[in-house]
């Protein structure tokens, strides 16, 4: 395993949902008739195209020539495009940052340099409120560190002793967020060196805690008796942007960082539900060297992670905020859309096997003319969880203290308790167990909300449910959640009931036993496994980034970026646009407003599924390809050679 050594960690995704929530196996039969009517709409409608895959390819609005899905030490982008390295782990960010010296890592240097394992990316135009597509801020998550690729000689057996306090503090500094000013000049994107806008947010940055759980006893520690001030953010996976120009960052596998014997206090069951204190392979040295990650010394510190954090990247002095109203779970990310009534709706996935999809609807309304009035919108609203029925409906069930079972009788003394233990509240509300919900994001053109369900190899026969129809679902699928009211801006994202369908079941369509489902015209390069991040271009087309983990070698395809129409004769005809270097995961697809630039993040190159790969003997030395440099997670900037719009 060992998440800190590499990404091949089954532990972080082990399901811990012991709730009796229905698997709905008993109503699959009922669903079959419904799927005929709704769920299989796409394949039914497109079956006439099946006999003409070539013409289907021609019908796609995506005109790029597909990339071959063959593993390689290099990245590959579609012909006619440039894919340049923009910034790498260790590159200077903050003014005065030293040059990267991989043999002499220090926390002081790393605090000012680009962090490890870039994941979510947000392009924020400059100035604020503009659609400037050649000058902006690029915000990046640094999800975690791959210890064995940062120092020479790390082994699973010896890592605990090899990771000194000094090295551990480098890891802390390599987590968190980065903000860099970027500018396109003469067709080439560059980071603006020493910009006063550039910022690092490592684990030493103070965060404010806001919302109903702020100041609650369960968030108080020796270092913070107020329960309102936390240092840093952990395991930031995906994220989103708000309409008022801030960025949202999910805290995902926070449990990996806590070790030591927790006291047998009232938190014991809650810790278990989140896997805190049970991780066998996590960053055990953090708790050894730093008290707050030692559960014996600071049993409440873990309650201060697992939130959505909000950053104002336009103000480099701003204090980032943990928004507790959005609930505590293993947040993949959170994406926002302004509903037709002005309320802001956010969608979020809890990325673990058999966990849930959530939605938050603000009480207040977005005011486009008053940014300050929007800055605390996320502190007041209603969190709900998805209950998906065989009849084609999806019900948003409210997680509100005092409603239904969410009362003191069940251990919820207040809304703070509901939020701190959002998973247990969702259990009681009958949420539907999903196949690891990663990105959940609304298509701004169609209004349809897409959820990437990355995989769930542990789902058993008889444990399937209509929205997660495959047992041992190693390839994952895409769930489309459809708000009522109409298309695009007419969609009512705050409605209690949506409908749903499954447009894509991932896997190799040439192997019928996998049960894959795409547009029948998909090519041998166009299929994928384990969808993770999704994005939409200005036409509302769906871009899917994959995280196949160590299985890519078995499937013979590298992770990458795929795109498809969501409407018309080539709907869900996925086509491969980009291939990661081997062992790397594709993250953070992010377009500039003019769609002429696409930023992507290559995470942990050379690690996943690369037996024996390490700092000393990496499977690839991407992107530097220098003998003395290990592979480095890096942001890649993609432009069309003719300067045109991506994907046309
Ligand atoms: Fe960090 Fe959910 O992938
Ligand atoms: Ca992810
Ligand atoms: Ca996304
Ligand atoms: Ca993932």
In tens, the pLDDT along 384-434 reads 999 999 999 999 999 999 999 999 999 999 999 999 999 999 999 999 999
Residue 411, SS3 per DSSP: coil
- pLDDT at 18 (0 to 100): 77
Instruction: Give the ligand 1 atom nearest the CA of 547.
Output: 3
Residue 548 C-alpha to ligand 2 middle, in angstroms? 11
Average pLDDT of span 254-273: 94
pTM: 0.94
Q: Which candidate, 23, 22, 18, 13, places its Cα nearest to that of 353?
A: 13
Average pLDDT of span 598-618: 94
Residue 151 C-alpha to ligand 2 middle, in angstroms? 25
| Residue nearest to ligand 1 atom 3, measured at CA | 237
Residues 6 or more apart from 611 whose CB is under 8 A from it?
none
The verdict on the CB of residue 586 being under 6 Å from ligand 1 is no
Residue 77 C-alpha to ligand 1 middle, in angstroms? 23
Residue 455 C-alpha to ligand 4 middle, in angstroms? 9
Instruction: Give the ligand 1 atom nearest the CA of 351.
Output: 2
Contact present, 75 and 578 (Cβ < 8 Å)? yes
The verdict on the CB of residue 12 being under 6 Å from ligand 1 is no
pLDDT of 8 > 90? The answer is no
Distances, alpha carbon 281 to alpha carbons 10, 159, 395, in Å: 10, 11, 37
Residue 523 — φ and ψ, nearest 5°? Answer: -90, 175
Q: How confident is the model at residue 276 (pLDDT cuts 50, 70, 90)?
A: very high
C-alpha atoms less than 13 angstroms from C-alpha of 235 in its C-beta half-sphere: 24
Residue 454 C-alpha to ligand 4 middle, in angstroms? 7
Q: Which candidate, 299, 321, 313, places its Cα nearest to that of 233?
A: 321
The verdict on the CB of residue 478 being under 6 Å from ligand 1 is no
Lowest mean pLDDT among 12-26, 424-438, 557-571: 12-26
289-322 residue pLDDT tens: 999 999 999 999 999 999 999 999 999 999 999 9
Q: How far apart are the first and last CA of the chain?
A: 42
The verdict on the CB of residue 262 being under 6 Å from ligand 1 is no
HEC profile for 75-110?
CEECCCEEEEEEEECCCECCCCCCCCCCCCCCHHHH
Residue 383 C-alpha to ligand 3 middle, in angstroms? 20
**What is the distance of C-alpha 226 from the center of its chain?**
30
Alpha carbons 29 and 44: distance in angstroms, whole number? 19
What average pLDDT does the structure give for the chain?
A: 92
C-alpha atoms less than 13 angstroms from C-alpha of 246 in its C-beta half-sphere: 24
**Residue in the structure block whose two tokens are 């080439």:** 188
Alpha carbons 323 and 271: distance in angstroms, whole number? 20
The verdict on the CB of residue 351 being under 6 Å from ligand 1 is yes
Maximum Cα–Cα distance across the chain: 67
341-384 residue pLDDT tens: 999 999 999 999 999 999 999 999 999 999 999 999 999 999 99
The verdict on the CB of residue 252 being under 6 Å from ligand 1 is yes
- pLDDT at 20 (0 to 100): 73
């Amino acid at each position: 395993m060992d998440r800190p050594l590499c990404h091949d960690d089954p532990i972080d995704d082990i399901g811990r949902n012991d709730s009796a929530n229905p698997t709905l196996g008993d109503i699959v039969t009922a669903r079959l008739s419904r799927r005929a009517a709704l769920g299989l709409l796409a394949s039914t409608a497109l079956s006439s195209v099946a006999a003409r895959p070539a013409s289907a390819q021609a019908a796609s609005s995506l005109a790029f020539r597909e990339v071959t899905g063959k593993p390689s030490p290099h990245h590959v982008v579609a012909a006619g495009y440039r894919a340049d390295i923009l910034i790498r782990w260790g590159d200077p960010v903050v003014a005065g940052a030293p040059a990267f010296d991989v043999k002499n890592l220090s926390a002081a240097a790393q605090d000012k340099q680009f962090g490890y394992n870039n994941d979510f990316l947000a392009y924020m135009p400059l100035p604020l409120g503009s659609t400037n597509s050649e000058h902006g801020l690029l915000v990046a998550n640094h999800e975690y560190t791959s210890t064995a690729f940062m120092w020479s000689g790390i082994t699973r057996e010896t890592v605990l002793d090899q990771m000194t306090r000094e090295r551990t503090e480098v890891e802390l500094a390599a987590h968190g967020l980065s903000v860099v000013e970027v500018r396109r000049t003469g067709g080439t994107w560059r980071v603006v060196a020493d910009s006063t806008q550039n910022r690092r947010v490592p684990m030493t940055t103070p965060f404010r805690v806001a919302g109903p759980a702020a100041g609650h006893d369960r968030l108080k520690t020796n270092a913070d008796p107020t329960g309102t001030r936390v240092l840093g953010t952990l395991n930031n996976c995906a994220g989103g942007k708000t309409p008022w120009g801030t960025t949202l960052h999910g805290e995902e596998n926070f449990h990996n960082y806590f070790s030591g014997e927790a006291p047998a206090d009232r938190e014991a069951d809650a810790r278990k539900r989140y896997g805190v204190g049970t991780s066998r392979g996590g960053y055990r040295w953090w708790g050894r060297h730093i008290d707050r990650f030692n559960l014996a010394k600071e049993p409440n510190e873990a309650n201060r992670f697992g939130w959505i954090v909000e950053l104002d990247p336009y103000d480099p002095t701003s204090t980032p905020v943990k928004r507790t109203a959005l609930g505590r779970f293993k947040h993949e990310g959170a994406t926002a859309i302004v509903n037709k009534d002005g309320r802001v709706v956010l969608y979020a996935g809890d990325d673990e096997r058999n966990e849930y999809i959530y939605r938050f609807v603000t009480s207040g309304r977005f005011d486009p003319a008053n940014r300050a009035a929007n800055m605390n919108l996320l502190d007041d609203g209603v969190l709900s969880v998805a209950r998906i029925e065989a009849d084609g409906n999806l019900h948003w069930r409210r997680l509100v203290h005092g409603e239904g079972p969410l009362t003191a009788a069940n251990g919820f003394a207040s809304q703070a308790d509901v939020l701190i233990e959002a998973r247990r509240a969702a259990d009681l509300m009958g949420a539907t167990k999903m196949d690891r919900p990663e990105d959940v994001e609304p298509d701004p053109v169609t209004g349809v909300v897409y959820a990437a369900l990355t995989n769930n190899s542990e789902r058993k026969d008889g444990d399937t449910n209509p929205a997660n129809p495959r047992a041992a679902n190693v390839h994952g699928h895409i769930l489309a959640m459809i708000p009522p009211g109409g298309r695009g801006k007419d969609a009512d994202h705050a409605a209690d009931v949506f409908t749903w369908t499954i447009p894509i079941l991932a896997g190799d369509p040439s192997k019928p036993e996998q049960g894959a489902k795409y547009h029948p015209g998909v090519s041998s390069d166009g299929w994928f496994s384990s969808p993770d991040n999704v994005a939409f271009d200005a036409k509302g087309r769906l871009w899917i980034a994959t995280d196949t983990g160590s299985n890519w070698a078995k499937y013979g395809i590298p992770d990458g970026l795929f795109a498809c129409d969501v409407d018309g004769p080539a709907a869900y005809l996925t086509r491969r646009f980009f291939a990661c270097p081997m062992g790397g995961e594709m993250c953070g697809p992010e377009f500039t407003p003019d769609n002429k630039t696409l930023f992507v993040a290559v995470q942990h190159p050379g690690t996943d599924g690369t037996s024996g790969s390490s700092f000393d003997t990496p499977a690839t030395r991407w992107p530097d390809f220098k003998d003395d440099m290990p592979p480095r997670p890096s942001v890649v900037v993609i432009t069309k050679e003719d300067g045109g719009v991506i994907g046309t």
